[in-house]
Structure 1
Amino acid sequence: MRLSNRKKAPVYNFFNTLLLMMLSAGIIGFIFDEMRFNILEGKSYFLIIIPVILLIIFYLNGRQIFEYDSDGEALHFRNRNIVPFINKPLSDEFPKYKLIKFEMVNVLFLKRLYITITSKNSGSTILKYEISYLTNKEANDLKVSLNKVVKTNKEKRHQE
Structure 2
Amino acid sequence: MRLSNRNKAPYYNFILTLINVLIVLGVFVFILEKTRLAMFGNEELFFVLIPFVLLVLFLIRGRQIFEYDSDGEAINFKNRNIIPFLSKEARDEFPKYKLISYEVVNAIFFKRLYIKIKSKKDHAAIVLKYDISYLTIKEIKDLKISLNKIVKTNREEKREGKTQGQ
Whether the TM-score (by the shorter chain) exceeds 0.5 is: yes
Question: TM class by shorter-chain length?
Answer: over 0.9
- Give the alignment's TM-score, normalised by structure 2: 0.94
What's the counterpart of residue 158 of structure 1?
159
1:4 matched to 2:24: no
**In structure 1, distance between residues paired with 2:121 and 2:44:** 56
What's the counterpart of residue 39 of structure 2?
39
What's the counterpart of residue 145 of structure 2?
144
Cα drift, residue 41 of structure 1: 2.1
Deviations 1:43-91 (A, max 9, x none): 2111111100010001001111000000111000000111112111100
What's the counterpart of residue 27 of structure 1?
27
- Give the alignment's TM-score, normalised by structure 1: 0.97
Name the Cα RMSD after superposition: 0.8
Deviations 1:82-119 (A, max 9, x none): 11121111000000000000011111231110100000
| Paired residue type of 1:124 | A
Where 1:42 maps in the other structure, the secondary structure is helix
What's the counterpart of residue 93 of structure 1?
93
Where 1:66 maps in the other structure, the secondary structure is strand
Unaligned runs of 5+ in 2: 162-166
| Paired residue type of 1:133 | Y
**In structure 1, distance between residues paired with 2:84 and 2:48:** 24
| Paired residue type of 1:81 | N
**In structure 2, distance between residues paired with 1:75 and 1:96:** 6
Cα drift, residue 156 of structure 1: 1.0
Where 2:141 maps in the other structure, the secondary structure is helix
Between stretches 102-111 and 7-16, larger displacement belongs to 102-111
**In structure 2, distance between residues paired with 1:58 and 1:51:** 10
Give yes or no for contact 2:60–2:109 (8 Å, CA) kept in 1: no
Cα drift, residue 42 of structure 1: 2.0
Quick one: percent identity of the two aligned structures?
55
**In structure 2, distance between residues paired with 1:83 and 1:91:** 16
Between stretches 34-43 and 75-84, larger displacement belongs to 34-43
List structure 1 segments (4+ residues) > 4 angstroms apart after TM superposition.
none
